[in-house]
Amino acid sequence: MNDVAAPAAQSWKVTLPCTRAEAEALDGDIAAFALMEHPPVLMTSEAEPDDENKWQLDAYFEGKPSPAAIKLLKTLVPSASGIKPQVEALPDEDWVTMSQQGLEPVTAGRFHVRNVASDPEQPGHVNFLIEASRAFGTGQHETTAGCLAMIDRMRSVGMRFRNVADIGTGTGLLAFAAMTLWPRAHAIASDIDPVAVDISRENAVANGIALGGGAGQLALCTAAGVDHPALVGRAPYDLLIANILAGPLIELAPSLCALVEDGGTIVLAGLLNEQADAVIAAYRAQGMRLAERSDRGHWPTLRLRKRPQIGWKRPRRINAAARGEAPGFGSI
């Protein structure tokens, strides 16, 4: 008898209204689903632009969600306690890819990012093709576009870097952009999600980005925070980019700053306006100063510079006891 693979379980989606505050509280792993063999993937979005009370939570389940799972989901968004969730079976297609198809190209600084191969390139720009995929970071989100615009301005004013790290890379886009601006730099990109790292590798090949460990080449690794020998071993960096979320940005501040040389630059994104002061304070405590802030809607991008300190030894390795982990946190 021939072995026949069991068909994959059909995906289901549960939709509930929520507030922006509730949406922002859903970063990282959700303890309520920790014991599930296949926990749902949670996505939040603005149901109505600029209305903090009208956001939406979409939870994607592998297989039909049980009443208990839906009840747990509702506990995450108390504002929807009296509302019946919308539960629907999805077509047998990749819902992440479907969610990203048809997106309009994005132009930020000198960069033009297409998500569909049939869209034309933009003359006079650095063009990237980041097709809809299993990972996130297609350039559509304000945080990614904000980072692209920030590093473009940095190059325009003559800033130069030779050793670059992109933490929480998603699709690899920000690392690719940095490498086109500083083509002789060493570069490494990491993500907590191995799928994102695989997608970044595929995108690098598709966009002509050289992979490897030398100058002008991109190294890739899977890591929680900066807990990986490849990340620590290549330090110190003169440019580090982290487009993740406010919580892990604050948690990782000591580890990220330890990997940056005196006078080096950190670009941070993934935080909301009201979270900026807390993030800035966490990095100031590690010897950083705010050099520039640029807001796109509710999403600021921060550029910070590490203050040279007389008597401080330039860090080559982070403290072995400080693992630099942020479990459950990945890219935007």
Nearest residue to 173 via CA among 269, 49, 309, 48 = 269
Which of 1-5, 9-13, 53-57, 125-129 is predicted with the least confidence, judged by mean pLDDT? Answer: 1-5
In whole angstroms, what is the distance from residue 129 CA to residue 173 CA? 9
- For residue 32, what pLDDT is reported? 64
Residue 290 identity (one-letter amino acid): L
**163-167 and 186-191: which strand pairing?**
parallel
Q: What are phi and psi of 255, to 5 degrees?
A: -70, -40
Q: In the predicted model, what is the mean pLDDT of the chain?
A: 83
288: confidence class by pLDDT, cuts 50, 70, 90: very high
Query: pLDDT > 90: what percent of the chain?
Result: 52
Q: Which residues are annotated as a binding site for S-adenosyl-L-methionine?
A: 144, 168, 191, 243
**289-308 confidence digits (pLDDT tens):** 999 999 988 889 999 999 98
- For residue 150, what pLDDT is reported? 97
93: confidence class by pLDDT, cuts 50, 70, 90: low
Q: Which residues are annotated as a binding site?
A: 144, 168, 191, 243
- For residue 53, what pLDDT is reported? 86
Residue 282 identity (one-letter amino acid): A
**25-48 confidence digits (pLDDT tens):** 775 546 667 667 677 878 788 888
pLDDT of 322 over the 60 cut: no
Q: What is the total residue count of the chain?
A: 332
CA 183 to each of CA 112, 139, 157, 187, 218: distance values in angstroms, whole numbers, following the listed order: 18, 21, 17, 10, 10
- For residue 31, what pLDDT is reported? 62
pLDDT of 1 over the 50 cut: no
In whole angstroms, what is the distance from residue 49 CA to residue 54 CA? 8
195: confidence class by pLDDT, cuts 50, 70, 90: confident
- Complete DSSP assignment for 95-139: HHHHHHTTPPPEEETTEEEESSTTSPP-TTSEEEE--S-SS---S
The structural domains of the chain, with segments of one domain joined by +, span 11-92, 133-306
Residues 6+ apart with CB under 8 A from 260: 235, 236, 237, 238, 240, 266, 306, 315
Mean pLDDT of 53-62: 87
pLDDT of 170 over the 80 cut: yes
**252-272 confidence digits (pLDDT tens):** 999 999 999 999 999 999 888
- For residue 30, what pLDDT is reported? 61
33 vs 79, residue with greater confidence: 79
Q: Which CATH class is domain 11-92?
A: alpha beta
pLDDT of 92 over the 80 cut: no
In whole angstroms, what is the distance from residue 151 CA to residue 51 CA? 30
Nearest residue to 179 via CA among 146, 198, 196, 203 = 203
- For residue 83, what pLDDT is reported? 93
249: confidence class by pLDDT, cuts 50, 70, 90: very high
Residues 6+ apart with CB under 8 A from 115: 100, 101, 103, 105, 129, 130, 131, 132, 138, 139, 140
- For residue 153, what pLDDT is reported? 97
Q: Which CATH class is domain 133-306?
A: alpha beta
In whole angstroms, what is the distance from residue 164 CA to residue 245 CA? 20
Say which DSSP state 273 is in: G
